[in-house]
Structure 1
């Protein structure tokens, strides 16, 4: 869809300060929703200054279009992450599913899908409920919701999926923090820390693969190392990169949706009271939390051809960045988009991606973890309250919270 571009609009854009990637702003207040709302209304595909300049895509319809057309907007040419990388790093990173286009992505994903079917994930529900209750049992009356509840839950589940000892969760937690928080001084001394953490995950995955090949178990690692019906399997590098992706995506999305959702419920006490009165709303609450928080703020694509998007002429090899946090508050799709409503239905949010090849592989698992967590919280602690300020992650990629003090009553 093309949108008209008038002289008055151009003039107004020039007078409005737009900066969607200032990480200090994210640390202070989270995604810049006022700027994003203005862009959706006035300049939905915005030429944003940077090194290089990029197109900021903010409307739901356009984000979905970019997401569903890998042949036009590539994840492989310059990768899916925002920051630029030297060519030798790009070549290595292209081996990860996140940074691939069909048909290579399709082949890899078909192998990995075996461990993430709805039936396989559904079988984990009681185990996730037990983990959640155990975490809540261990909390004192005063707790940090992030480090004592939101972060350990997906880490325990990842250990379960990998068949790894639960004692490894602290290592996985530290690796994930160093990779995602490479721009946050609380988590890493320098951006190079992220690369170092990734190498440690590779080594860990390698050791895990050796163990499972020698002694297969009934876990996802053993499944992925075995050949499928067509005789195909992940090679060593592909497996290591998958574990790296699982450590980050399987941890960060759920962790930050949970902590961001808890903060949203504190900021909307009527919705917390509603959930406490009816914990069965936890299923729709999980989807509304993902829409509202949008734990992954953005992804990058690269245009593969000259084309028009949102009324703008995009050139081949232009950097195109989709903002899920903006699309998820598009009033053309979500009535009362600025209202946090745990009963919202339908709720076609794109917090797990806009569809297409890269729709989140673990979306069923993430929604299950969130549903169980908030159902148990509502049942056990209807008077749960916030006791201190939330501290946010310094990142324009992950909409994260580092600390959220609570009182469990």
Structure 2
């Protein structure tokens, strides 16, 4: 049963988690992340109902999987839990019936993923590091000193848009369109609870499809004229036997491009902001960082765990499955709440604490498990590592000077704004 949506932009305070009957606790409400009150809701489910069924919500009935080991089990068993036809909690709307390999099962998933994963192969990442460092340095050197500014806009979005333009071979001067299209693609009220004008979203998706169609034909013409093939995502798709005709399958063409844009945007962009915010909540960790910059790679993993940029992924049970005494029926919607699993005290010691020297910090759920494990995880980690290496060379402290604003969504756990002031060395 679906409950009608209320698309008001007002921020109505939500009740405390324990004030709601357990069988009515709805962790799909996008205001949980917007108001940053989600931890208590998910802790209650982990403690009292780790396999929790909600019979009615704006996104229909669904099971919530909230503990680390249970999420890992579901994510690692694609034969029991299918990714098709969509990986967000809400069902697809008519204007977003796109096909993308993250929402496919093998063998089609494997074929399409293989076509593009070369862009983040180790050799390519090594070559990209110098470019990333150069761009990070330029961004940081142009930040205002001694005055408040929005870290999300000036650093997180800027660095992410530059790297997306590089990965796609996209016109650099138009790079911010990639961020806009990513935001529009995930702002579907019926799918993620975000607030968006459907006409604006349709217009944005149309512009995205038209622009990338033009780039596809441009790349094809360049290769036909004898130019050597490049290594951007479009040419990788064109030069793979399974995806060379993707342009002739419009829903798959746009769907996979949106997937790659969103994948390259949200994880890195919100981890860049989340790291600054976390270090302000736990300032002693910044002292550790200054004393030992060698902790940066470990801190990057802790940032990604702490932030968990994508809150959930959904699956559909392909047969009846027993978990914790509950029977998940064939055809039921199953939602893995990564942000909850990343705070599961049963697996992660002091899970609500941000610790840059955490033992086994890479043991987190933010990249998923199994066949759908994040393709660009090493690129995201590298961008964050280089960013913090360059920050430490320039700044003594990045001070958060106001309350952050969070995105309204049950899928993207992100920042709209983060006001900061830089203190140079």
TM-score normalised per structure 2? 0.86
**Match 1:233 to one of 230, 244, 247:** 244
C-alpha displacement at 1:311, in angstroms? 2.2
Query: How many angstroms apart in 2 are the aligned matches of 1:140 and 1:284?
Result: 29
In 2 relative to 1, CA 189–346 (structure 1 residues): closer, same or farther, beyond 3 Å?
Answer: closer
Alignment of 1:7-406 (within 5 A): 14=21, 18-29=25-36, 32-48=38-54, 49-50=56-57, 51-76=59-84, 78-85=85-92, 92-93=97-98, 95-141=99-145, 142=147, 143-183=149-189, 189-216=196-223, 217-221=229-233, 223-228=235-240, 233=244, 235-236=246-247, 237=249, 238-347=252-361, 348-353=363-368, 355-406=369-420
- Matched residue SS, 1:247: helix
Query: How many angstroms apart in 2 are the aligned matches of 1:209 and 1:15?
Result: 51
CA deviations on 1:241-282 (whole Å, 9 max, x unpaired) are 322212211011110111112111111111122222322221
Query: How many angstroms apart in 1 are the aligned matches of 2:323 and 2:189?
Result: 31
Partner of 1:4 in structure 2? none
C-alpha displacement at 1:89, in angstroms? 6.1
C-alpha displacement at 1:117, in angstroms? 1.1
- Matched residue SS, 1:357: helix
Q: In structure 1, list runs of 5 or more residues that go unmatched.
A: 1-11
In 2 relative to 1, CA 209–15 (structure 1 residues): closer, same or farther, beyond 3 Å?
Answer: closer
C-alpha displacement at 1:390, in angstroms? 0.6
C-alpha displacement at 1:401, in angstroms? 0.5
Contact 1:179/1:193 (<8 A) preserved:
no
In 2 relative to 1, CA 271–63 (structure 1 residues): closer, same or farther, beyond 3 Å?
Answer: same
C-alpha displacement at 1:189, in angstroms? 4.4
Query: How many angstroms apart in 1 are the aligned matches of 2:210 and 2:202?
Result: 13
In 2 relative to 1, CA 288–197 (structure 1 residues): closer, same or farther, beyond 3 Å?
Answer: same
C-alpha displacement at 1:16, in angstroms? 7.6
Query: How many angstroms apart in 2 are the aligned matches of 1:308 and 1:16?
Result: 19
- Matched residue SS, 1:105: helix
User: Structure 1 residues 356-365 or 111-120, which shifts more?
Assistant: 111-120
In 2 relative to 1, CA 139–127 (structure 1 residues): closer, same or farther, beyond 3 Å?
Answer: same
Aligned residues: 390
Contact 2:219/2:235 (<8 A) preserved:
no
Contact 2:82/2:316 (<8 A) preserved:
yes
Query: How many angstroms apart in 1 are the aligned matches of 2:328 and 2:24?
Result: 22
C-alpha displacement at 1:306, in angstroms? 1.3
C-alpha displacement at 1:113, in angstroms? 1.6
C-alpha displacement at 1:345, in angstroms? 2.5
- Matched residue SS, 1:382: strand
Contact 1:74/1:303 (<8 A) preserved:
yes
TM-score normalised per structure 1? 0.89
In 2 relative to 1, CA 182–374 (structure 1 residues): closer, same or farther, beyond 3 Å?
Answer: farther
CA deviations on 1:217-259 (whole Å, 9 max, x unpaired) are 533235414434x686352144443222122110111101111
